[in-house]
Amino acid sequence: MKAHDFISAQDITTDELKSLFDLAKDMKANRNKYLRSCEGMSLAMIFEKPSLRTRVTFDVGIQQLGGNGIFLGPNDINLGKRESVFDVAKNLERMVDIIMIRTFAHAICTDMADYAKIPIINGLTDHEHPCQALADFFTMWEVKGELQGKKLTYVGDGNNVAHSLLLTGARLGVNVTVATPKGYEPDNDVVEKAKKDAGQFGATIEITNDAAAGVAGADAVYTDVWASMGQESEAAERKRIFSPYQVNSGLMAKAKSDAIFLHCLPAHRGEEVTDEVIDSEQSVVFQEAENRLHVQKALMHELLQ
């Protein structure tokens, strides 16, 4: 990869995305082939937010590449309070080979990348979730084949996941639609960046407040929780506003008959998605979750070369 870090979906080119997917596919099929590819290397995993999939897939992933992972929770560092981001970066760059950070403010992640001389991976910020988008489109590619011209509709809050889907999908030639209530649209700067890339790669970007129209003809339907971490105080109000955007069998029927269902998890069953959808044959959410492991292994492999 040309970029030293993976902070944003815009840090990876279309050709690099496709090569990364090919590598992830090979890693998934031939685990033993890469057991020593990052031998002796260490990954520091900084967590300011709780996690299941991010923690397990990065920890297991670096082990399967022959390296080791070090978990650093909120009480270990307390970024910006107990110790500055600069000091943490300058310490860790002398002790480990690569850092993954899962935090709140996106600026913490970008600052870490500016200060540290080793690769930094964005494991999630309030602005983007680029590793999740890698797994999402890798899964869609596994199931649907060639991505160019396919349609993915995201239904729900225009949040960090929506941002990374827009930016990544545009570079893969995927037509990405975001269906969301008024006032909850994705960041306009992100939308404009995605539209610029989409124009270059023959794709379209659409933002709508009509869930049914947005899902029409979709090859993949995606949703996320209505209230993300840090928005708990808004949960009741968001539930009222987002209820018409629930992904249920009626909404899925608007998509193509062979459309797949995606969710970054954890899911609040009965809210943004019903059991009949998430447990249906159309759902690939657990395949998608597993694929976090494979795409992140490929990502670490490339950044450490």
The whole-angstrom separation of Cα 160 and Cα 178 is 12
Assess whether 224 carries a catalytic annotation: yes
User: Same domain, yes or no, for 239 and 104?
Assistant: no
Residue 115 within any structural domain of the chain: yes
Catalytic residue flag (residue 129): yes
User: Is residue 3 situated within a structural domain?
Assistant: no
Same domain, 281 and 155: yes
pLDDT for the residue numbered 202: 97
- Whether residues 227 and 281 share a domain: the answer is yes
CATH of the domain at 38: 3.40.50.1370
Is residue 88 one of the residues assigned to a domain? yes
Same domain for 247 and 185 = yes
Q: Looking at the domain assignment, is residue 237 inside a domain?
A: yes
Q: Residue 71: beta bridge partners? A: 45
Count of the separate structural domains present in the chain:
2
Which residue in the list 238, 292, 294, 301 is annotated as catalytic?
292
From 132, 246, 282, 296, active-site residue: 132
Give pLDDT, residue 267. 97
CA distance 248 to 243: 11
DSSP 143: H
Distance separating alpha carbons of residues 238 and 227, to the nearest angstrom: 7
Tell me, what's the pLDDT at 180?
98
Q: Are residues 40 and 69 in the same domain?
A: yes
- Of 197, 224, 238, 282, catalytic: 224
Q: Are residues 38 and 137 in the same domain?
A: no
pLDDT at 82: 83
Alpha carbon distances (Å) from 179 to 25, 159, 205, 208: 31, 12, 11, 5
Residue 147 and residue 259 in one domain: yes
Q: What is the pLDDT of residues 255-294, one digit of tens each?
A: 999 999 999 999 999 999 999 999 999 999 999 999 999 9
Domain assignment present for 4: no
In this prediction, the residues of the chain whose per-residue pLDDT falls under 70 are none
| d(C-alpha 161, C-alpha 12), whole Å | 17
Burial string for 44-60 (b: 16+ CB within 10 Å, else e) reads: bbbbbbebebbbebbbe
User: Both 173 and 187 in a single domain?
Assistant: yes
Is 132 among the residues known to form the active site?
Answer: yes
Domain assignment of residue 240, given as a range: 132-288
Task: Say if 2 falls within a structural domain.
Answer: no
| Candidates 129, 238, 294, 301; catalytic one | 129
Same domain, yes or no: 148 and 271: yes
C-alpha–C-alpha distance, residues 94 and 43, integer Å = 12
Q: Is 194 a domain residue?
A: yes
Which candidate in 11, 38, 59, 102 is catalytic? 102
Which of the residues 38, 109, 131, 264 is marked catalytic?
264
pTM of the model: 0.97
Active site residue 264: yes
CA distance 121 to 107: 13
Residues 104 and 243 in one domain: no
Q: What is the pLDDT of residue 189?
A: 98
* Whether residues 164 and 276 fall in one domain: yes
In a domain, 226, yes or no: yes
Same domain as 109, residue 254: no
